[in-house]
Structure 1
């Protein structure tokens, strides 16, 4: 264990605000670094996955924009029109159109407020999400013509209501062209703000069913489909020279991209803080400060820092509890 001057002091005060004591807490975080490798030998998707798992970690998964930039770099100069990555069709699951994981605090990408009786998939084609005037989610056909709400991260007024009815796909295209993306609903506060914009007809939000999953079980929502893709040509995904993706027959033999097994370093430190360390904003702030410090000490700039959640669901442990657990 080591003490970190990056951790603010936690002070316990009496009812008059007079300092009584400082209490130490411990936190655990991990540094994750990923490397991509281009394998020139052509294999089917299944054989490529076996190769990657035997000699590296798995087929490549893309968790953020830094990963995508590394993927682009590793295929630079490759002449083959497409290479396998670790995305494959599986069971349908709900994800957000705005895919940057940094946009979501812990648990926010999984926020849902379904209306009772919804998720019924009436007709078998209700693959897009809508929000009603009560702030509840509906599963509806993507071809419905609904108003919609865009999110714009570059202006103070983040939410843009568009009254013109469009299909979910056309709404997504317009939001991405003129703003940032279709809106994500990350928590109850945002849910209530967006509810106030809905009058009568439900509106499309950025929630939709996706049929693809990463073979390394990454929860990444990033998708870089070519226009018109996925078109049902196959269950496995190729990364093309244009840096876009398409679904193809898994039995094709193509080169592929492996990722090295995740290299993890556990950092255990003592924090002293007067703030509520269970506050998601505080968690993000502390991670950023630790990352800046470690980078100044030589940590790779593409390494990722994340909290390690304990078996009881907690991240931080009071020092006394932590000391007892080590006896």
Structure 2
């Protein structure tokens, strides 16, 4: 039996939110080793495929137009373990108990508001999150991987905790749902895998029993007859010649300093449009992209209407999701001597700011 609680900081329920897929996937039906496939993708597209979430995984599977046993993607083994959220949220906040984390185990449980590492094979109850229902307590004991699968199949994912306020809300929810002091799985895990394009994506879609081991020579491949789930293969094994999947970024940072109107014209002539940010997920994509910028802020497709006193996206969408820095994004903008447009800060928390449209900044275009 599952209990739920509305958790506003985890929900993106404003207006109509479309699914956000950052990349276009291309299946290349040529057998190559992983290194050859990587070189091909970097020459023809952006890189070997990176996957951020189940939406991406669905699109990746749709890109495949042939029968195959396995196909390379961009995930490669390393010697460095990092903590990730199962949902793909960036790890900005940690709330470890004293003496935690220690090496050896790589999944996290929450007990009395503090986090502890636990063997991923141990069984605990767990918390999912759901876009419409919020937090969902699942009163069944499962290991971490099975709990993750349950949440992804029935809700969205295991819960992420992004700040102290969310941690306090989750602690209260757990105490209201079961006996105080009990441990529950949250979505935090550690692994040594890295994407070829250096993306921080924490999404994993391993087949049951995978990965059974990991070295610097291991690479991930999707398997068609496992519904696109992943297995590992040795990249230096001459028998491992597979087709592969490349990705092409849907967003691109243009490192030219242009006014907002010039940036808009450039994007529409060379790509599709200046980027619109309509969800937390798309904001995370933008946060990754702005690291490539050479200016302190980067133009978005945000425009202020002096006549109507509103902000709007040039794509025609309403500004539903918002990420303004304090004091920015008000309806009462100073329209003299020039109209204001919206930019995202390159540093700090990458929040949005209002700037005169004549400022010379880098900008982000979208390709699709």
The TM-score normalised by the length of structure 1 is 0.65
Provide, for residues 55-107 of structure 1, a one-character-per-residue CA deviation record: whole Å limited to 9, x for no partner. Answer: 3221111224443233212213x12211111111222221223x3x5xx5xx5
Q: 1:309 aligns with which of 345, 348, 368?
A: 345
8 Å CA contact retained: 1:148, 1:205: no
8 Å CA contact retained: 2:135, 2:159: no
Q: Aligned in 2, Cα 1:316/1:230: closer, same or farther, shift over 3 Å?
A: same
After the TM superposition, which residues 33-72 of structure 1 pair with which residues of structure 2 at under 5 Å, given as runs? Answer: 34-72=23-61
2:210 match: 229
**Displacement of 1:148:** 2.6
- Does 2:169 correspond to 1:193? yes
SS at match of 1:257: strand
- Does 2:144 correspond to 1:168? yes
- Does 2:247 correspond to 1:259? yes
**Aligned length in residues:** 257
1:113 match: 95
1:245 match: 230
Q: Which runs of 5+ in 1 are unaligned?
A: 1-30, 276-281, 288-305
Q: Which runs of 5+ in 2 are unaligned?
A: 1-19, 253-266, 268-273, 275-299, 312-317, 324-341, 362-368
1:158 match: 135
Q: Distance in 1 between matches of 2:184 and 2:205?
A: 25
Which of the pair has the greater relative contact order for Cα pairs under 8 Å at 6+ separation? 1
Provide, for residues 131-162 of structure 1, a one-character-per-residue CA deviation record: whole Å limited to 9, x for no partner. Answer: 121x12122222344x4332241764623153
Alpha carbon RMSD of aligned pairs, Å? Answer: 3.5
8 Å CA contact retained: 1:114, 1:138: yes
The TM-score normalised by the length of structure 2 is 0.59
2:107 match: 128
* Stretch of structure 1 that moved more, 83-92 or 195-204: 195-204
1:138 match: 116
8 Å CA contact retained: 2:343, 2:355: no
**Displacement of 1:230:** 1.8
Q: Distance in 1 between matches of 2:228 and 2:346?
A: 38
